[in-house]
Amino acid sequence: MLSFYQRKVFREGTAPMSVRSATTPDFSTPPLELPADLEPDNPLWRFALAFWKRPDVQNSCLALQNQGWSVTRILGAAWLALSGRVFAGVEDATVTEWRDRVTVALRSARKSLPGSADNCQKLRTGIAGLELEAEQIELALSWRTLMTINPEHADMQGRDALIINNLFAAAPTLPVEDDARPLLNTLADTLAHFPKGDHQP
C-alpha cells in the first residue's frame, strides 16, 4: 500500500524541493576560476615534497588533519618560517574555496569507499591521485598569496620561536588543543633541522 507521501508524489508527479535536494546534486554553483598564470611547480610545492619525506612528518600532519587542521596551512606556515617570515593565519578566499569545494570533496569521496573491498581499489587509487593533484593546485594558490598577505619579516624572533609561532598560527581555532601540541613539536623539531634548498623564496 502506498504511503501518504508516495500517493502525493504519484499524484503531483514530483517531490517537494526539500526531498529532491537530499538525493539530487546541486549543480547551480558556478565553476571556480583559477588564475591563468598559476604555477603548480613552485617553491612551496617543492618544499612540501621534501618536507613530507622526513620521518614522522606525514603521520603528524595527517593526525592534525583528523583534528580539523589544514595541511596546506601547516605547510605554508612552515615554509614562511624557513624564509624568516611571519604567518598571519590569513588566507585568500580562492584558497579556502578551492579547499572546501575540491580538495575536501575528493578526500571525502575517497574515505567513503570501503578500504577492504577489492572492487573499489582502482577507484580509490584514482581518487587519491586526483586528490594529490587538487592539493598541488591548492598549494599553488596558497603560494601566490603567502608573500603578499604575510610580508612581515620576523626580525625580533629567533628561528625556533618563529617556527612554533607560525605553526600555532595555522590552527583552525585558538587556543591550540592539547592533543595537537606534541604533533606540532614534532614538526617544529624537523623544521629546525631542515636544510635550505631551492624551495626557499
pLDDT (tens digit per residue) in 68-91: 999 999 999 999 999 889 998 989
User: CA 6, 8, 10, 12 torsion: positive or negative?
Assistant: negative
Tell me the pLDDT of the chain averaged across its residues: 85
The three cell numbers of residue 195 are 636544510
Could you tell me if 109 and 126 are in contact, meaning their C-beta atoms sit under 8 angstroms apart?
Answer: no
pLDDT surpasses 70 at 200: no
Vertex 181 angle, CA 175 and 183, to 5°: 135
How large is the average pLDDT for residues 25-54?
A: 89
In the chain, what is the straight-line distance between the N-terminal and C-terminal CA atoms, in Å? 70
SS3 82: helix
Cα 85 to Cα 155: distance, rounded to the nearest angstrom: 9
pLDDT surpasses 60 at 9: no
Confidence of residue 155 (pLDDT cuts 50, 70, 90): low
Confidence of residue 23 (pLDDT cuts 50, 70, 90): low
pTM for the full predicted model:
0.81
Top mean-pLDDT range of 16-25, 35-44, 131-140, 188-197? 131-140
**For residue 179, how far is the Cα from the chain centroid?**
19
Could you give the percent of the chain with pLDDT greater than 70? 81
- From residue 84, alpha-carbon distances to 46, 59, 60, 188, 201 in Å are 18, 26, 23, 14, 10
Cα 82 to Cα 76: distance, rounded to the nearest angstrom: 10
With 0-12 / 13-18 / 19 or more C-beta atoms within 10 angstroms meaning exposed / middle / buried, residue 140 is: buried
Number of alpha helices (DSSP H) and beta strands (DSSP E) in the chain: 10, 0
- From residue 190, alpha-carbon distances to 36, 58, 112, 141, 166 in Å are 35, 12, 32, 25, 14
**What local confidence, expressed as pLDDT, does residue 114 receive?**
87
